[in-house]
Each structure stands twice: as structure tokens, then as C-alpha cells.
Structure 1
Amino acid sequence: MAKHDYDLFVIGAGSGGVRAARVSAAHGAKVAIAEEHKVGGTCVIRGCVPKKLLVYGAHFAEDLQDARRFGWEVPACNFHWPTLRDNVLEEVARLEAAYTDTLRNHDVEVIKERAVVTGPNEVRLAGGRTVTARHILIATGARPVLPDFPGAQHGITSNEVFHLPELPRRVVIAGAGYIANEFAGIFHQFGSDVTLVNRSDIILRGYDETIRDRLLTISMMKGIQFRFHAAFRKVEKARDRTLTIHMTGCDPIEADMLLFAVGRSPNTEGLGLESAGVQIDDKGAVKVDEDNKSTCGSIYAVGDVTNRVQLTPVAIREGQAFADTVFGDKPTRVDYGSIPSAVFSHPPLAGVGMTEGEARNKLGSVKVYLSDFRAMKNVLAGRNERALYKLVVDGETDEVVGLHMIGPDSPEILQAAAIAVKAKLRKEDFDSVVALHPTMAEELVLMR
């Protein structure tokens, strides 16, 4: 066999790349990982981790109001965006250092340079050095999509939103997926006027229709505005930095910030993958087989760059499976069935398995069980917001094939409930469990 500098060279130190590098090194491989930005990738640096910290911060707006109904004498409180922003960025820096230390503690060489592929077993670094590896793993993730219309450069993406110098008074968010709805809730709770603009009249496409309709209703009740069937025409920026946003189907909107959340595109441009015969699909993603192998036998890919399921835990599973298969003598494939997901909106929602619509199309005979209720805390707080839980059951086998919910702590509850769906438990198994009272989660075993 040809002698190479490394057994594995990983391009991209996000969640999938870090897991693959660490586990491969633990299996005895000589590993290097190259990252041109910061170790940790989208999730840790500019995605789910800092965003969830903003969600926590936003929750205090309602919690402080509700506290008065529970006997607490809460004075008038003002929100100071720079304090939260700087504390979040400090935590991100701590996590980046922790991820870097973990890699080095597992004898993974960390190279803070851009790397591009120059052949099936060759990588060139930005500094000019060329190295060889028996296997190359592409784990470069994805980036926010930027629309193309006059003045679009005046908008920002989720990459920049964590670094805002001040809190915008008026926010327009383009898109209706999970990123758009999460930031809509965050900025609304911080006191901004929020308008969400979408080309269609559907939010959170892919989630259960009943649940997403409930989020839309609650969001509108809270004061978040929606503009549906609207397409951007142009954006004009005044000397005072005010934006005038022109759209089809509605009047212009003035705003202080325009946030684009219209999807994410795999980071494959300029990686040199064509030099090794790696095929890219029409969306820019690396084509891979069930073992994460590309059309070049020595090059693999995991995570968002493959555009299979753009979720951090999935990227981690793929990185683990790659390492165990290639270096651990333990062939492993990721099971993509019944992957739980959540939207950290206000209130949050979560789901696993088939939606009601998917189940009816696939199974035909379906039973649906609903629990529509006000959480005990909301009752005493005088808040009319209602939670909604939904079980989708195969009408022939009684198997629970989908579980969807919206309400306080839904993602925390769903993680355990997803085990039941993954295990293909039946409705009677839910019914046989004694309720844990008084909780919101008990509704899962009380639906009849």
C-alpha cells in the first residue's frame, strides 16, 4: 500500500467532522482535521447552541410577567441586548476551546487553514502545503442561502444575527422554516416588531399541519405579523440605515433589520472535489451511498454537505458510523427512520414519525388522538395559550407511527416519547402506563 501522511484527513470541524476524527483516532488512525473558521461548526458557533441561549433569554419576557400572578413583586424590567450577546459569544468561545482540546487530547492534529481536494488521496492547504491521506472525509456543512434581487445585500443571515451591535426595533424575516419561526419568537420577546414574509401560505413545511397551524395562531395572537404569498422585489436603504422593503402582493414595509432564513446550501464550492471524481447533485450536495462513501472510493462525506437530513445529531451519527465502519472494523449504517425534531419557537413544538397526512397517504387506515389543553402554569398566569398533543396511530396494527406536540417543554418531553415511536409501541402500550400527575406529559397516556 502507498504510504500517506495520514490515515484520515477531515475537511471541516463541525459536529460530524469532529466526531469522525475523534473516534477514528481512538480506533488507532492517524488523523488531521482542517477548519478555516472555528472548531465546532454551525451548531456550536453560529447555530443551534447560541440560538438556544437566545431562546432561553427570550423566555424571561413572559416568565417575568407571569411571576406577578404567582406572588412575586417584579419591578419593571428592561432588556439589554449587548449583555446577552456578549455572554452568548463568551460561551461559544469556551465551547470552541473545549472542542479543540477534545480533538488534541485524542491525538488529532488540528489545522486552522482552508483545505481543498486536489486528488483522490491529496489535499492542499491554504498555506501552500500539500498532504496525502488514505481516506478523506468532507464535513464542510452548509451555509445560509442568499436570495438574488436588488438590495438583497442590505439583509443579513443567521450567521451575522448573533453579532448585532444593537437590538433592531423593527425586524422583517424572510422565510417560514424553523430558523425563521425561532428568530421571530426570539426578537418578538425581546420587544421588536416582527414581520415574517413567505412566498406561500405554509409555515414549517414538513411538520404536522395541526401543530403548525396552532403555532401560527399563537404567533399572531402574540403580535407577530405575517405576509403570505409575498415575493421580494427590492430593498432600499436610507441614510439613517432604515430599510424599505418592497414586495409583491403587499405594501412596502420599513424595517431596521432584514433577516434571510430561506434555506441552507451545502458547502462544496471551491473544494476541488471534481479533481477526484466526486459527483455533486443539482443542489450542490455530495452524493454518497449508505456507508457515506462518495463516487470516489477514498473520499467520504457526512453531515449537511450531503443534504440528507440537516440536523446536528444526524451528522454526529454519520461521523460515528463512518469511523466505526472504516477504522473500527464494525460496519455501521445510520437508521434515518423516526428521527425526532424540534422547533424552539414560542411556544416550542416537536415531532417524530409520520404526520397525519403522511400516515393517511401511506397507511390508509389511521386513528388520530388529540389532547388540547391549557398548561396549569398558563391557567394561573392568566395566559390563554393552549398546548396541543397528537398521536397518529396505524388503524390496522394499533402502532403509534407519529407523535407531535406544541406547548411548554415539548422538545424535552418528546425525546423520551420518541423512544416509544422508534420501538414501534402500540396505543395500548401508552394506555397501560400510569400517568405522572400533575404534568403536561401525562396527556400522552390519557388520550382516549
Structure 2
Amino acid sequence: MSAYDFDLFVIGGGSGGVRCARISAGHGARVGVAEERFWGGTCVNVGCVPKKIMVNAGEYGLWAEEGPAFGWTGMQAGTHDWSVLAKARDGEVERLSAIYNRLLTNAGVTSFDARATFIDAHTLDVGGKRVTAERILIATGGHAVKPEIPGADLGLISDDLFTLKALPKHVAVVGGGYIALEFASLLRALGAEVELVYRQPLPLRGFDHDIREAMRDALDHLGIRQHAGHEVARLDQVAGGIQLTTVLGHTVTTDAVMFATGREPNSKGLNLDAVDILTGRFGAIPVDAHQTTRQPHIFAIGDVTDQLNLTPVATAQGHALADTLFGHKPRMASLKNVPTAVFTIPPAATVGLTEEEAVLQEPVDIYLTRFTPMRHTISKRTRRTVMKLVVSRATRKVLGAHMLGDDAAEMMQGIAIAIVAGATKEDFDATIGIHPTAAEEFVTLRTMTRQAG
């Protein structure tokens, strides 16, 4: 028997930590997990899950507006009841969080509702109790931060959306990333006036340029007022609410301001000095391809490493680490061709290389289409779909797929399988489309739009 209390101790009960703990226990390891805030982490409690529920709520109102075009004379958007949505959302979050804890119990994992910090290389303080472990995993995730500007305390962060007692009538969302855009979309769809303030000329920095332009237009059509090229300098409490002033002197006064300007790893307070682990930019814990820190028995996964901050990535890393350490199946979670989605209204989704990334490597052929989906041609709602393939001119492999439009995330999951498998444009062309769908456009793009690189 090991001299340690546990073969593996996991700090953090989010998606990645729970997956690693559960799979490790399934391989026969003695596992402990500590979570100080809530089981399921950010995604389940103040991220992906409650956000998607609220996006769905916003979509219902828009569908009701379109109903009469399809003969539904009794349908109307009406006034949204925030309290009903909040109750349904919080009930689902509570249910899912309990499932995470139950999964650990059923797997034979010992869980602690407590904070865990390092005492030495193999010893942790877990809620005042000394616990030893042969291997330790740091899976503490990240947290939203406010910019360091005067009056920042007057603003909200993304977590605060889920504790608001009522919908702000007029809100400014600061940021041009996916969190800012998702929150701006759902708030607008639920009835708020929304100002979106971001530094770049287009939203979604790092995404494909055509999708960025399409997103700008989609936000305009949704009725979100965009203030592009503006960086917030300060917030002030004024008679009409909160006044936001930008570096260029532009001002906006709203009932509330929400910052979605960045997140930082949850590495502070772990007492990493005790195990000689240094953190990098903004507190990220450096790891190698096997998720190993500078200590060979201490590992880190997910947002605390600030590699690719997506819940499924943390989950994949946790599973791979468990298989490597205890399952006699050494493997790594690849960060290449990771699909992702932006749950705006309409949503965007992407996998693989953008056109801008691809042309730095090789010449490419671009296939691009823009159209109005059938549903919206009837309802006369201005909602365009954009679909794009980036293809290697030399190998004909599809290097990237990008979309903005209804059901983009659902489609992109399947497209991602093809791209991960190395499918060529001819493989796409040989696939029979499902008609009538928007998805069939991905396999009927025959005419090259342009060449690049």
C-alpha cells in the first residue's frame, strides 16, 4: 500500500478535475477532490450552461415575433418575466451541479467541500486537514476580471448576470470577445437596450475575418449599438445611471455596465511557492504536452494553464491524464482543430485554420457563401448565414470551416470530425447533402470564391 492518503488528489471540482478524478478512480486509483465554491465549476454554474439557457429564452421571443408569418396569429413576444427564467435556470444549474458530485461518489472518489493549498510537495491543507497524495492535479479554472480603471467597481462581471434580480433596461457590455457578444445578444433578445463597446475595429479578434464582418452585421440587425474602436477609460455614477467614458472622450450612460474584458487563471492562494512552481502571464501555470508542471508529480489542466480555455478541452485533458497515469494508455489531448462556438443570436462556430492563419503556411482556395435561410425569407427577418471553407491548394485538405447562422454549433461538431480526420474538398463534394437544410451548403460549395496566399 502507498504511504500516501491518496494516489491522486485533484484541486478543483470543475469539468476537467471531475473527469480526471472519476476516470482515475475507474482505473483503480484512490482519489480525492477538493472544491471550495461549487461543483461543476464555471461552465455549469456561471458560464456555458446558464448562459445557453438564457440565449434560448431570448430566441423564444424572436420566434414569437416571426410566428404570424407562418400563420400563428396568437403568437406575440409580449413582456419577458425575468423571475421565471431565473428560477428555471437556477434549478437546472443546481441539478447539474449535484450530478457532478454524485458522479464522484459513485466512482468511489472522496470529495471535500473545502479549499486546498500546498504545504509541501506531497502534502495539502484541505479545509484545515492535512492530506497527502502521491500525485496532485491543479484544475482550479479561471475567473473574470475587471479592467484597472477609475470606477471599475461600478461595473459588473459575467458572473453577476446570474444573480441579477431584474433585467437592466439599458446596459453597456464592454468587450469584443465571445463572452461579451453572447451576453450582449441574450440581453438584447430579452428586451434590454444594449451598447457594445470594444477596442478592435471588428468583434471576435482571432476569428476568421469574414465571420467577424458577418458578426458585426448580425449584431447590428439584432439592434445592438456597437461602439467599435473604443477603449473604456473610466466609469462614473451620474444622475442618469452609470456613465462610461472612453479614451477618445466618447460617453455612454446606461443603467448597468458589464465587463467581459478578460479572465485570469485561479492560481493565487494555492501556495505554489511551497512546491517551487512559478506562474507565468496573469498567473497561468506552465505545463508540458503531458500537462506536467516543473514538478514531475504535479499536473495542471484547463483554464489555470491558459492554453485553450474551453470546457471540453479541460475535460479532454483530464481524461487523457487519467488514462496516462493509471490506465496504462499514455496519450495527450490535442489542441489542434478544436471546434468552438459563439452562442450569439445567431450563433457562430469554427474549426481549424482561419484564412489569415492558413495563408501564412501555404496557398489556399476559399469557398464562401452567404444567403438568407428559408425560415427568415418567409418571416422577412434580416438574418444572414455565412459559410466558409479554407482548402489547401496543394493537398486539397479542408484546413478550416467557419459559419455564422442558425444551428452553426450543431453543424460544426460534425464538420470537425471530417477535418480532424483529414478530409479533402473532394470528400466534402462526394457527400450527399440533406435537403432542404443550410448544412447541405457545406457539401455543395463547388465554385471557388478566391485564391489566397
Aligned-residue offset at 1:418: 0.9
For 2:33 and 2:312, the matched residues in 1 are separated by 20
2:65–2:76 contact (8 Å) kept in structure 1? no
C-alpha contact 1:7 1:30 (8 A) present in aligned 2: yes
SS of the counterpart of 1:361?
Answer: coil
- Deviation (angstroms), 1:38: 0.8
Return 5+ residue gaps in structure 2 as ranges: 447-453
Aligned residue for 1:110?
111
User: What corresponds to 1:359 in structure 2?
Assistant: 358
Cα distance 1:76–1:116, how it changes in 2: closer, same or farther (>3 A)? closer
Q: Deviations over 1:72-107 (max 9, x none)?
A: 021452101111012101110111111111110111
* Deviations 1:41-89, CA, capped at 9 Å, x for gaps: 0110110011011111110121001111000021452101111012101
Distance 2:222 2:16 in 1: 37
Instruction: Choose from 408, 411, 425 the match for 1:410.
Output: 408
| 1:163 and 2:163 correspond | yes
Please name the residue that 1:142 is paired with: 142
Superposition pairs of residues 34-433 of structure 1, within 5 angstroms: 34-73=34-73, 74-75=75-76, 77-126=78-127, 128-238=128-238, 242-363=241-362, 365-433=363-431
The residue that corresponds to 2:3 in the other structure is 3
Decide whether aligned partners of structure 1 residues 357 and 196 sit closer, same or farther in structure 2, where only a CA change above 3 A counts.
same
Structure 1 residue 385: deviation in Å?
1.8
Structure 1 partner of 2:450: none
Q: Is the deviation greater in 286-295 or in 75-84?
A: 75-84
Number of equivalenced pairs: 445
Relative to 1, partners in 2 of residues 1:27 and 1:76: Cα closer, same or farther, differing over 3 Å?
closer
Please tell me whether the aligned partners of residues 24 and 327 of structure 1 are also in contact (alpha carbons under 8 angstroms).
yes
8 A contact 2:31–2:109 mirrored in 1 = yes
Give the C-alpha shift of residue 189 in structure 1.
0.6
Q: Secondary structure at the match of 2:105?
A: helix
Counterpart-to-counterpart distance in 2, 1:75 and 1:62: 9
Take 1:56 and 1:230, find their aligned partners in 2: how far apart are those partners? 30
Query: What TM-score does the superposition give when structure 1 sets the normalisation length?
Result: 0.97
Cα deviation, residue 277, structure 1: 1.3
Native 8 Å contact 1:227 1:250 kept in 2:
no
In the alignment, residue 398 of structure 2 is paired with which amino acid?
Answer: V
Q: Secondary structure at the match of 1:372?
A: strand
Q: CA deviation at 1:324?
A: 0.7
Give yes or no for contact 2:61–2:77 (8 Å, CA) kept in 1: no
Structure-1 residue corresponding to 2:15? 15
Maintained 8 Å contact 1:123/1:131:
yes
Going from structure 1 to structure 2, the CA distance change for 1:87 and 1:368 (only over 3 Å counts) comes to same
Residue 334 to residue 259, structure 1, CA distance change in 2 (3 Å): same
Higher mean Cα deviation, 200-209 or 88-97?
Answer: 200-209
SS of residue paired to 1:308:
coil
Q: Assess if the C-alpha contact under 8 Å between 1:230 and 1:250 holds in 2.
A: no
Q: Could you tell me how far apart the structure 2 residues matched to 1:144 and 1:76 are? A: 33
Gaps of 5+ in 1: none
How far off is 1:326 after superposition? 0.8
Q: CA deviation at 1:198?
A: 1.3
Deviates more, 1:71-80 or 1:209-218: 71-80
Deviation for aligned residue 1:199: 2.0
Letter in 1 for 2:118: V
Q: Decide whether the 8 Å contact of 2:245 with 2:251 is kept in 1.
A: yes
Give the AA of the match of 1:49: V
AA paired with 1:397?
A: T
* Aligned AA (2:365): K
Q: Distance in 2 between matches of 1:138 and 1:238?
A: 43
SS of equivalent residue, structure 2 residue 359:
helix
Contact kept? 1:340, 1:415, Cα under 8 Å: yes
The answer as to whether partners of 1:279 and 1:294 remain within 8 angstroms in 2 is no
1:283-307 residue CA offsets vs partner (Å, 9 max, x unmatched) = 3111111111110122111111011
